[in-house]
Amino acid sequence: MTSALRSALGSRLLILDGAMGTMLQAADLSLDDFDGLEGCNEILNVTRPDVISEIHDRYLAAGADLIETNTFGANLSALGEYNIAERAVELAGAATRLARRAADAASTPDRPRFVVGSVGPGTKLPTLGHIAFAAIRDVYQQTIEAMIDEGADAVQIETCQDLLQAKAAVIGAHRAAAARGVDLPVMVDITVETTGTMLLGSETGAALTVLEPLGIDAIGMNCATGPAEMAEHLRTLSGAARVPVTCMPNAGLPVITGEGARYPLGPEDLTEALTDYAQRFGLSVVGGCCGTTPEHIAMVSAALAGRPVAPRHPVHVDAVASLYSEVPLSQDTAYLAIGERTNANGSKAFREAMLAENWDECIDIAKTQTRDGAHLLDLCVDYVGRDGTADMATLAARMSTAVTLPVVLDSTEPQVLRTGLEHLAGRCIINSVNFEDGDGPESRYQRVMPLVREHGAGVVALTIDEEGQARTREWKVRVASRLIDDLVGRWGMEVGDILVDCLTFPIATGQQETRRDGVETIEAIRELKSRYPGVRTTLGVSNISFGLNPAARIVLNSVFLHEAVEAGLDSAIVHAAKILPIDRIPEEQRDVALDLVWDRRGTDAPAPRGVEGYDPLTRFLELFEGVTAASMKAEREAELAAMPLLERLKQRIIDGNAKGLIEDLDEALTIKGALDIVNEDLLAGMQVVGELFGSGRMQLPFVLQSAEVMKTAVAHLEPHMEKTDAGGKGTLVLATVKGDVHDIGKNLVDIIVSNNGYSVVNLGIKQPVQAIIRAAEEHHADAIGMSGLLVKSTMVMRDNLLELNREGLARNYPVMLGGAALTRSYVEHDLNDLFEGEVRYARDAFEGLRLMDSVMAVKHGVPGSSLPEIRARRVPARPRAGSVGGAEAATSGGSGKSGGADPAQPDVRSDVARPTPAG
Ligand code: THG
């Protein structure tokens, strides 16, 4: 039966009550009242039920639709502090009885009042190993069962600081509801500190990514701050959450006084903020946290109770998350790279570190993968003779905090997978399920899927059935369809959370029957993607090249991956640093590898190779005979050395090759100025890098290598640059926006603009809009520059401009935007239309400088001066290839995996369609 509260939730605005804790502090209770347990508010449910009931009555009289039970600390660790953990169930039951009685007394047929069980975080953080996940989950379940038994209508899991704790509470609540056979709405509130993240560093987007797939009924924020500091995070939730959004701020940021904390916001201020947010963010439930009183709630209720919920249009992005950040499953210009090295079977170094229990070394391998450009990490501890659950417990717990990437849990053992899920705070993917031993009650499939569902994980589904590993495209597609239908139909998975693995087999074994395995896999992917566009695919790419020497493996893996991506592959388990951009592979090696992958033998192969008796495997082995990674590098060095000096400098940037760079720069300085070298040669290289990146032909790690060389080069040249004059021409505040860590482009702008006489305040990466605004105000900035490389950053930039509008600052600060995912048209039309000031696109650092010059000319009233005219043509927005979230950002080419021209805008200027490597 659907609960009455569920029907109300999301249709009309519901008012939740205000603080309990700060009300109790004001109630002048004695140590006797607390039964000697000073500060243990839950004990009051049995010692002073009158006090608790009176607070409920006052909030109900003030107009609260929902009142919360006095159970914030009725959990394992909080009661454990008083050595009364065993009373959790009793106290939760008593508290719910009091709230139920009060709510029933105040209910009328047209205004029912509801009881919400308060579920607090406890005093220990499971992610830091203070307390075990399963232990808190089970006590949460027991207390919530008691709440249900005493008539709670819903629970609110609040003040969440640790996502692993939040998961334990949600799972405990779901188990309680299932055990009691009731429909229990579960609402979750995260607490975001003034730092802009949850206590352990989780971004709001990560929290949403982790919590929503658990099957919660509302998500929101409470505690830590007043409403003002919550705005940015509520915008994130409101923009993406598919469940109702809630908001319970404190009565402002507490001011510490002689008599303790004082909360500065009065009822009017709180009501004003919540009224604004209810409209802007489509809130479904509002109420108050610390420092709010019945007076606050009375005014909020008078203003808002019963209003329809303002419409929202959330844009969901399929994603997974680490403790810290979310990672979309669709990468903008790339495949999603899953690092293969944290695998006891797949890496000797990892295996030896694990066997020696050298955990720091294991984590170092994980971190190296992060630097190499992996988006997720595949973690496999399976090793004969080891206790897999113990190894997984140790490694998953360490990786949860020490690594910023989400984890793919790779094991054949359900118990090992469960252990991983219970130690990782983020949202994981389970690798893998299949029909190898069927799908009966005892099958591994049926033992793993409940774990996947309960923890809201994604899943890799292998094309293996009772007959074995599928070898032909028909077989692969048939098994994949069966898996997808079952995962969606029987298990309730969302299609976008399924990654089908069509399986990679070694093709260079020399055996005839393996020759077509690559083709079959690629064609199966193509077929699958056309039948199920929403389903994603993955592959363990390195399997293809087993048996070859390391240099040959790099080439074959890279070529096979490239072909699979062209056919629609979304993600791959790889050693990211060893995947070469296709343009960097010597031509014959690449072409023979292609023949091998596509099984083109004899005259089937294109000229000049396609002759009678041609065997790409034989030729491939010949090509790599005696070839090592080092010898390939030496060959490339020789090619570089043969180039003219300035050409070579440009090529060094493109290749990300700093060997001999300094000598080349010194020589170049004898023929031209330092700034000209940067401007004409080095930036030209970065331009090419940007184009390759934008068209999906070069992946991020290589872009970062190029940026590193650029940085080294500029650092060497900087002392030789003449500063036009030292600062004083004007001030630019620069930042990489929230959620983005890429600062290559921004740092180039810094160098160029500051070397031309401007003061630059470079705030660094991941900057929330409030930090940008504060810096602009503090430094009396003349302009603001924001950059970011990710598609999601284009949305953040838009939100930031809206925030400048809202604060009435748009006209004070002209804004320049740069970054690979941006286009001139998006910035100068879409964004300029909604921004109340002026915003321009800076394609590269020099355009940034020109913009700064014109900003200052306008400011100084130079006759005839103005900001550069809008240059881009207006083009209609269209969804970006492979991305769900960044639809509006996508107004230009260079986005899809295949790159190339964009038929939607045949007449766009060439410089508009070319993304820069900014960010
Ligand atoms: N599909 C899915 N999961 C998978 C695979 C897959 N997980 C495991 C594997 N296959 C993918 N991971 C690897 C990891 C390493 C290697 C290959 C695949 C590898 N390792 C070197 C070797 O064995 O020669 C080790 C070299 C070293 O010790 O450093 O090639 O297909 N879903």
Q: Is residue 907 part of a domain?
A: no
Q: Does 432 sit in the ligand 1 pocket, CB within 6 Å?
A: yes
So what's the pLDDT on residue 863?
A: 85
Give pLDDT, residue 820. 75
Cα distance from N-terminal residue to C-terminal residue, the chain? 51
Residue 214's closest CA among 248, 178, 168, 180? 168
Neighbours of 239 (CB within 10 A): 20
- Cβ–ligand 1 distance for 340 under 6 Å, the answer yes
The finding on whether 699 has its CB within 6 A of some atom of ligand 1 is no
Two tokens, residue 322: 């680490």
The H helix count followed by the E strand count for the chain is: 35, 27
The CATH number given to whatever domain includes residue 710 is 1.10.1240.10
The answer to whether residue 452 is domain-embedded is yes
For residues 767 and 871, membership in a common domain is answered with: yes
Q: Among 715, 736, 756, where does a domain finish?
A: 715
Inform me whether the pLDDT recorded for 912 exceeds 80: no
Task: Tell me, yes or no, whether 398 lies in a domain.
Answer: yes
- Give, using CA atoms, the residue closest to atom 20 of ligand 1: 346
Contact 580, 555 (CB under 8 A): yes
Q: Provide the pLDDT confidence category of residue 727 given band limits of 50, 70 and 90.
A: low
902 lies in some domain? no
Atom 24, ligand 1: which residue's CA is nearest?
Answer: 546
Asked if 791 contacts 327 with a C-beta cutoff of 8 angstroms, the reply is no
Give the least confident one: 1-10, 255-264, 448-457, 883-892.
883-892
Which pLDDT tens digit goes with each residue over 466-514? Answer: 999 999 999 999 999 999 999 999 999 999 999 999 999 999 988 888 9
What is the mean predicted confidence (pLDDT) over 185-209? Answer: 95
Of 56, 575, 742, 829, the catalytic one is 742
pLDDT of residue 4: 85
- Measured between alpha carbons, how far is residue 352 from residues 211, 342, 386, 457, 476 in Å? 36, 11, 12, 29, 35
More confident residue, 805 or 332: 805
> Are 399 and 540 in a shared domain?
yes
Q: What is the pLDDT of residues 8-47, one digit of tens each?
A: 998 899 999 999 988 998 899 999 999 999 999 999 999 9
Q: Which residue has the tokens 């030729």?
A: 619
CATH number at residue 505: 3.20.20.20
Ligand 1 midpoint to CA 434 (Å): 18
- Which residue has a Cα nearest atom 22 of ligand 1? 346
CA-nearest residue for atom 11, ligand 1, is 540
Q: What is the domain-level CATH number for residue 880?
A: 3.40.50.280
Residue 168 confidence (pLDDT) above 90: yes
**Judgement on whether residues 791 and 864 belong to the same structural domain of the protein:** yes
pLDDT tens-digit readout, 537-546 = 999 999 999 9
Q: Quick one: 381 and 249 in the same domain?
A: no
Farthest-apart Cα atoms in the chain, separation? 98
pLDDT(914) > 80: no
pLDDT of 891 higher than 70 = no
Q: Do 699 and 732 fall within a single domain? A: no
Q: CA-to-CA distance for 105 and 108, rounded, in angstroms? A: 8
Distance 487 CA to ligand 1 centre (A): 26
Q: Say what the pLDDT of residue 902 is.
A: 32
Q: Which of 662, 688, 715 is the last residue of a domain?
A: 715
Residue among 503, 558, 573, 578 whose CB has most ligand 1 atoms within 8 A, to mutate: 573
Same structural domain, 342 and 482: yes
Residue 773 burial (CB < 10 Å; 0-12/13-18/19+)? buried
> How does residue 115 score in pLDDT terms, banded at 50, 70 and 90?
very high
Verify cis geometry, omega within 30 degrees of 0, for the bond prior to 608: yes
Q: Give 743 or 136, the one with higher predicted confidence.
A: 136
Helices marked H in 625-682 — which ranges?
Answer: 629-641, 645-655, 661-669, 674-676
Same domain, 195 and 131: yes
- State residue 915's pLDDT score: 33
Model pLDDT, residue 723: 65
Question: pLDDT at position 192, please?
Answer: 96
What's the pLDDT at 171?
A: 98
Instruction: Detail the DSSP E strand segments found in 56-122.
Output: 66-68, 114-119
Q: Identify which of 336, 350, 542, 569 to mutate to test ligand 1's pocket (most ligand atoms within 8 A of the CB).
A: 542
> Is 706 among the catalytic positions?
no
Tokens 């944290």 label which residue? 342
C-beta of 410 in contact with ligand 1 (< 6 A): yes
419 lines ligand 1 (CB under 6 A): no
Q: Which of 715, 744, 761 is the last residue of a domain?
A: 715
Q: Are 373 and 333 in contact (CB under 8 A)?
A: no
Residue closest via CA to ligand 1's atom 6 equals 540
Domain count, the chain: 4
Which among 318, 740, 853, 902 is annotated as catalytic?
Answer: 740
Asked whether 825 and 872 are in contact (CB, 8 A), the reply is yes
Residue 46 lies in domain: 2-304
Active site residue 318: no
Asked if 678 and 703 sit in the same domain, the reply is yes
Q: How far is the CA of 409 from the centre of ligand 1 (A)?
A: 14
460 within a domain of the structure (yes/no): yes
In the chain, the percentage of residues whose pLDDT exceeds 90 is 75
Ligand 1: which atom is nearest the Cα of residue 378?
Answer: 7
Going by alpha carbons, the residue nearest to atom 30 of ligand 1 is: 542
pLDDT digits (tens, 9 = 90+) for 260-307: 788 999 999 999 999 999 999 999 999 999 999 999 999 999 999 999
Is residue 801 situated within a structural domain?
yes
User: Are 357 and 294 in the same domain?
Assistant: no
Q: Alpha carbon of 593 to those of 585, 618, 718, 742: distances in Å?
A: 10, 11, 44, 33
Q: Whose CA is nearest to atom 5 of ligand 1?
A: 540
DSSP string, 300-354: HHHHHTTPBPPP-------EEE-SS-EEESS-SSSPEEEE--SBTTT-HHHHHHH
H helices of 382-443, in order, are 388-402, 414-421
List the residue whose alpha carbon is closest to atom 15 of ligand 1. 346
Each residue's pLDDT tens digit, 805-841: 999 999 999 999 998 778 888 898 889 999 999 999 9
pLDDT exceeds cutoff 50 at 908? no
Q: Please say whether the dihedral angle defined by the alpha carbons of residues 193, 195, 201 and 205, taken in this order, is positive or negative.
A: positive
Of the two residues 248 and 630, the one the predictor is more confident about is: 248
pLDDT of residue 910: 32
Closest ligand 1 atom to Cα of 499 = 32
Q: Is 793 designated active site?
A: yes
Question: What value does the mean pLDDT take over residues 427-443?
Answer: 96
Atom of ligand 1 nearest to the CA of 348: 28
Say if residue 58 is in the same domain as residue 24.
Answer: yes
Structure confidence by residue, pLDDT tens digits, 436-450: 999 999 999 999 999
Q: What is the pLDDT, as a whole number, of residue 874?
A: 59
504 ligand 1 Cβ < 6 A: yes
Strands of 783-787's sheet in order across: 759-762, 731-736, 783-787, 815-818, 839-841
What pLDDT does 753 receive?
Answer: 87
pLDDT score, position 509? 87
* Average predicted confidence (pLDDT) for the chain: 90
- Note whether 806 and 682 are same-domain residues: no
Whether the Cβ atoms of residue 654 and residue 685 lie closer than 8 Å to each other: yes
Phi, psi at residue 524, to the nearest 5°? -65, -40
Distance 683 CA to ligand 1 centre (A): 38
* CB atoms closer than 10 angstroms to residue 711: 15
- Predicted confidence at residue 890, as pLDDT, reads 30
Question: How many other C-beta atoms are found inside a 10 Å radius of the C-beta of residue 512?
Answer: 7
Q: Same structural domain for residues 710 and 740? A: no
Is there a domain that residue 283 lies in? yes
CA of 374 to the centre of ligand 1 (A): 15
Residue 512: predicted pLDDT: 87
pLDDT higher than threshold 90 for residue 339? yes
779: in domain: yes
- Inter-residue contact 913 to 902 (CB < 8 Å): yes
